Structure 1
Amino acid sequence: MQKLFRSYLESFGGLRKEIWLLSLITLINRAGTMVIPFLSLYLTKSRGFSLEEVGWILTFFGLGSVTGSWLGGKLTDKIGHYKTMAISLILSSILFVLLQFPASFWSICIGIYLVMTVADIFRPAVFVAINAYSKPQNRTRSITLIRLAINLGFSAGPAIGGIIIKTGGYSGLFWIDGLTCLMAGILLLKLLHPKRSKTENEDIIVNAKSAMSDKLYLVFIFAMMLFGFIFMQYFSTMPLYYSDSRGLNEFEIGLLLGINGMTIFLFEMPLIKFMESRRHTATGYVILGTLLTGLSFLVINLTDWAGVLIVGMLLATIGEMIGFPFSNSFALARSDGKKRGSYMALYSISFSISHIFGHNSGMQLIDNFGFEFTWYTMLVLALIACTLLFILKAMLKKEAV
């Protein structure tokens, strides 16, 4: 047992202090955006909007995320990742506080759009910052540590948010969100001075190749859109399946979803350290992650045994643990010597687009064709994504010759 624990701790070794500080800032920032999981409840219960109106407001949420990712990439290429992250954190702290005041449908749509635009400027910049502060051999584990911070933040945020709503109402939620973003911004300015990064100026490359002119990278991005599209089902349509088709209650559904976060927390870093030591390409690992996620939808169609739901969740979680870090690592490696901000912006946008279309399309498929057909559709999309990644792998070999 001690050997296992020591091995677990060693998987975190060798990462630079700046990466740990960046993870702390990301943890505070993501835990602070606790209004997001309660957005639909706030809009229906506190503001009295219909479900149809909430659906449109959430569309503006996704559009803001796309705009923010694009703008974050542009800013990172022009002024560097450090200033871009600082601008995002400080401005979003103000906008989160102001978001409680709009009351009409259109004012809330505009408010949500502006908040997500400014908040998601942070995403491409933090990816570029990982590259600047980490050693090349530890790049994927550095990404994994940031992912752990994001997952812990999203796990802690809703729990803290529920207590705040119960004691101080939704207004307190907006104030806490604003203050935590401000705290993250202050920590960034105090602890992560740009002089500590030798490569800050490497973000700003004027006459370099942008992501949109890289055909191989565009193939990768389209595959990531498909991967994101199918993975999003675990947070929108899959809980409906657990309830309506399998008869699980909210507590049981919560436990199933909790397997995802707990497995990531316990095993992702050791798994990534083990896989990094093997001589396989990042694209090969992304193919594996995508395939496992697709198989998670297949297995739940094969039997009525209740335990298969756990098997499906574990397959999807392992697929996530492999697919996301190595796809991120590939995007960073592909951007070397190019307009890094544009590359990481496009990577972020691929998942923002998945958010916009994935949830609604999944709902429509279930409504028209049922769960079984929808899960087979997700498997087919995963296989298409794998095929694109195999094509990409072959093209990369030709490019290297």
Structure 2
Amino acid sequence: MKKLFNNYINTFKGLSIEVWWLSLITFINRAGTMVIPFLTIYLNESLDFTFKEIGWIMPFWGLGSVVGTWLGGKLTDKIGYYKVMFTSLILTGVFFFLLQYVNTIIGFCTGIFLVMLVADTFRPAMFVALSAYSKPENKTRSVTLIRLAINLGFSAGPAIGGIIITSIGYFALFWIDGITCVLAAILLLQVLHPKKAKVLDTVKVENPVSVYKDKAFWVFFIAMFIFGFTFMQYFSTMPLYYKDARFLTEFEIGLLMGFNGFFIFLFEMPLTKWLENNVNSKIRLVTTGLFLIAISFIVLNFTNWIGILAIGILLMTIGEMIAFPFSNSFAIERGKKGNQGEYMAMYAISFSLANIFCHYFGMHMIDKYGFEFTWNAMTAFAFVGVFILLILLQILKREKAQQNL
């Protein structure tokens, strides 16, 4: 047991102190966004908005994310990741303070758009900072550590948020969300100031390649959209399936979904370390991850045995653990030939776009055709993504052959 524990700890060794600080800042920031899981309930119960009205508001969340991520990439390339991250955290805190005073549909559409716009400028800047503070051989594990921080933040946030709502009220969420963003900005100022932080991988490109002209990256972008579209069904349509088709209670659903985060926390870093040492192609690993997610849907239609739900979420979780770190690492490396902020913004936007469309189409298919058809459709769509990634592998091989000439 001691040897197993030591081997686990060793997978975290070699990461720079700046990456650990960046992970802590990300954890504080993500744990602070505890208003997000309760937003639809707040709009319905506290502001008396109808479900139809809420349906108009929520797309502005995704639109703000897309615009903010794109803007964050542009600003990162122009003024640097540090200024973008600090400004994003401060403004997000201010906008969370103000959002509690909005009580009209138009006002909330505008407010939620602005909150996400300033909040998601942080994402591409953070990825570029992560690249700068990581040695080339540690980038994938650095990404994995950030993912652990995000998962822990999203796990802790809703739990704390529920306690705050029941003991104080919804208004306290907005204040605490805002305060945590400001605290994260202060920590950033103290520990990652350019005069204090040590840059380990500075990339300066004299004639950067625009991401818009990188055909291989756009093939990758389409595959990541499909990956995001199918993966996020587990957080929108899948809970309905557990409840309405498999008759699980909210507590049982919570345990099943919680298994995802717990399994990632325990095994993602060791798995990433092992794959880094044994497999060279990042895209081949991403392909494997998306394949497992595809299978996780289709197995649900094979049997009525309740244990298949655990198998399905285990397949999804392993697929996520493989695909996310290595796709992120591929985007970071690809960005070295051009403007890194621009590349990381487009990588993040592929998931933001998926977030806009996946919930609507998933719900629509379930309503019109049922769960079984929807899972078959998601499997087929994921296999399209697998096929696109296989095409990308061939494109990258041709690129490498041309470079060696």
TM-score by length of 1: 0.98
**Which string of whole-angstrom CA distances, capped at 9 and with x for unpartnered residues, describes residues 240-285 of structure 1?**
0001100111001001101100000000000000000013300000
- Counterpart CA distance in 2 for 1:198 and 1:352 is 29
- Counterpart CA distance in 2 for 1:185 and 1:358 is 32
- Counterpart CA distance in 1 for 2:347 and 2:73 is 10
- Deviation for aligned residue 1:197: 3.8
Alignment of 1:176-325 (within 5 A): 176-195=176-195, 196-198=197-199, 202=203, 207-325=207-325
Instruction: Return the letter of the residue paired with 1:177.
Output: D
- The answer to whether the Cα contact below 8 Å between 1:80 and 1:201 also exists between their aligned partners in 2 is no
- The answer to whether the Cα contact below 8 Å between 1:194 and 1:200 also exists between their aligned partners in 2 is no
**Which string of whole-angstrom CA distances, capped at 9 and with x for unpartnered residues, describes residues 184-215 of structure 1?**
00000110012324379747x68421211111
- Counterpart CA distance in 2 for 1:391 and 1:22 is 35
In structure 2, the residue corresponding to 1:128 is in which secondary structure? helix
- The answer to whether the Cα contact below 8 Å between 2:136 and 2:201 also exists between their aligned partners in 1 is no
**Which string of whole-angstrom CA distances, capped at 9 and with x for unpartnered residues, describes residues 115-147 of structure 1?**
000000000111111100011111000000000
- Counterpart CA distance in 2 for 1:111 and 1:398 is 47
- Counterpart CA distance in 2 for 1:306 and 1:280 is 37
In structure 1, the residue corresponding to 2:12 is in which secondary structure? coil
* 1:356 correspondence with 2:356: yes
In structure 1, the residue corresponding to 2:141 is in which secondary structure? helix
* 1:327 correspondence with 2:330: no
Bigger drift between 333-342 and 288-297 goes to: 333-342
- Counterpart CA distance in 1 for 2:286 and 2:348 is 16
**Which string of whole-angstrom CA distances, capped at 9 and with x for unpartnered residues, describes residues 38-94 of structure 1?**
100110010111111111111000000001100000000101111110110011110
- Counterpart CA distance in 2 for 1:197 and 1:63 is 35
Corresponding position of 1:118: 118
- Counterpart CA distance in 1 for 2:128 and 2:93 is 22
Alignment of 1:128-167 (within 5 A): 128-167=128-167
- Counterpart CA distance in 2 for 1:97 and 1:116 is 14
- The answer to whether the Cα contact below 8 Å between 1:81 and 1:200 also exists between their aligned partners in 2 is no
Alignment of 1:317-396 (within 5 A): 317-396=317-396
Corresponding position of 2:34: 34
Instruction: Return the letter of the residue paired with 2:199.
Output: K
Q: Say if 1:202 and 1:79 are closer, same or farther in 2 by CA, change over 3 A.
A: farther
Instruction: Return the letter of the residue paired with 1:242.
Output: Y
- The answer to whether the Cα contact below 8 Å between 2:134 and 2:200 also exists between their aligned partners in 1 is no
Alignment of 1:101-112 (within 5 A): 101-112=101-112
Corresponding position of 1:97: 97
Q: Percent identity over the alignment?
A: 59
Alignment of 1:45-84 (within 5 A): 45-84=45-84
In structure 1, the residue corresponding to 2:36 is in which secondary structure? coil
Aligned Cα RMSD in Å? 1.2
Instruction: Return the letter of the residue paired with 2:340.
Output: R
Structure 2: segments with no counterpart, 5+ residues = none
- The answer to whether the Cα contact below 8 Å between 1:102 and 1:108 also exists between their aligned partners in 2 is yes
- Counterpart CA distance in 2 for 1:197 and 1:118 is 27
- Counterpart CA distance in 1 for 2:64 and 2:207 is 28
**Which string of whole-angstrom CA distances, capped at 9 and with x for unpartnered residues, describes residues 140-180 of structure 1?**
00000000000000000001111111121111000000000
**Which string of whole-angstrom CA distances, capped at 9 and with x for unpartnered residues, describes residues 219-241 of structure 1?**
00000000000001000000000
- Counterpart CA distance in 2 for 1:284 and 1:201 is 27
Runs of 4+ in 1 over 3 A off after TM superposition: 197-203
Instruction: Return the letter of the residue paired with 1:23.
Output: S
- Counterpart CA distance in 2 for 1:53 and 1:4 is 52
Name the count of aligned residue pairs: 400
Q: Say if 1:310 and 1:125 are closer, same or farther in 2 by CA, change over 3 A.
A: same
Corresponding position of 2:2: 2
- Counterpart CA distance in 1 for 2:336 and 2:255 is 41
Instruction: Return the letter of the residue paired with 2:80.
Output: G
Bigger drift between 230-239 and 332-341 goes to: 332-341
- Deviation for aligned residue 1:337: 3.1
- Counterpart CA distance in 2 for 1:323 and 1:360 is 24
